[in-house]
Structure 1
């Protein structure tokens, strides 16, 4: 499953999403839109957390080392091979 965060999650949403990511089912967190500032600090979930390099480059700065940059091709593969939930 791919969870696409499009906005900054609230405390309650973070709790819920942490449960989703620790449920045992493989899941990837990707951030876009208003959620992009999350890449500047430790990832909030014990899961693979990714950001498109093109999106990160638009913001500038240095992303936290816990996040993985992905190319547009990797993003396309990820979205085509995973069920996606936008949050």
Structure 2
């Protein structure tokens, strides 16, 4: 392992953009929604949440997974521009 690799992995200075947010709905069948920068519900994330709920996961598990996903999408949006099928996507959610 190179000596300077440790310094290259220092992520303490990494600042992530405030991409999207997590909204608590109060609906027992759709307790959380991942909202993109355009204020739209991210359908891909909602499908994942529905699968978790169908598998019997608690709402707290959904919230935990949703917050982890939000952090991951913020990281990706700070590093990449994603295109899918000729349309511009922002981390898997349509840009508009």
- What band does the TM-score fall into relative to the shorter chain? under 0.3
Could you state the TM-score of these two structures normalised by the residue count of structure 2? 0.25
Higher Cα Rg, which structure: 2
Flag the structure with more relative contact order, 1 or 2, with Cα contacts below 8 A and sequence separation at least 6. 1
